[in-house]
Structure 1
Amino acid sequence: MSDVMETMTPQQLAEACAKAMWNDDNATQKLGMRLERIAPGEAVLSMTVSEAMTNGHGNAHGGYIFTLADSAFAFACNTYNQVTVAQHCSINYIAPGALGDRLTATAREVSRRGRSGIYDICITRQDGTVIAEFRGLSRTINGTLLPTAG
């Protein structure tokens, strides 16, 4: 590990990893998501439901809700400077989102052991109504987000 990373606090490392990921995350950026908060094993992202994100019932399309949750999951599990990917994800839709809703995905680490992690993501709309619950299982692979000395 580089001298710079050795002097970083866990919060500073999480922020640096999030910045590195954000710079290359076209999907998250192009959908208008905002990274509201980052901490070790945690992330909060938000997104406003646009007309292009509604389905034939006029509700927020489940795929966009899943994408918001998946992005929060990705940012949460990549806060340790180890490249980490999704191994399995599932979502339960609870209430519909609508055009103009501001959806927020709050990701928190449940468990992280060895190369595997479990993360729960709760998606709410602006009035606090829970829209969906997402669980992601992660797997750490080779590589780092930040350059290392060596």
Structure 2
Amino acid sequence: MNLMVILVPFLLITAVFSRLAILELNLPGASNEPVDEQELVFQLEIIVRENGIEVGDRNVGALGLYPVGADGYDFDALSTKLTELKANYPEKTDASILLEADIPYDTLVQVMDRVRVAESIVDDSIVRTDLFPDISIGDAPISAGGD
């Protein structure tokens, strides 16, 4: 009995209470309906491939290509491009991230972080700005090169 009196408070004091962060994602639906030319709006797509990241508009095409360098993916260039796009489309809040099959989970998380928020340094403090917080995830289309 004395052991239980000592053990229970010890376990309660040393217990680690973790906080889970949940991010709501929207998965794109399958639709084969034709779209009217008048209804074409900017639809941001970020395609993550083994050889780089493509930023583009679903209706227009590629807006930027950032190949993998010696240090890995160029997330800073991606952030810069997304900040420019947000300046051009301030009301836009949604984006689609499309991944090839063997992209590591850590890469997905880093891309999602860059798509959701831009960080800049102003007066020795970090300022975070929302970019495209409504993220959808899907499979990347097969590249034209057959990679």
- Does the TM-score normalized on the shorter chain lie above 0.5? no
More strand by share: 1
Q: TM-score, normalised by structure 1?
A: 0.31
Q: TM-score, normalised by structure 2?
A: 0.31
Q: Which has the larger radius of gyration?
A: 2
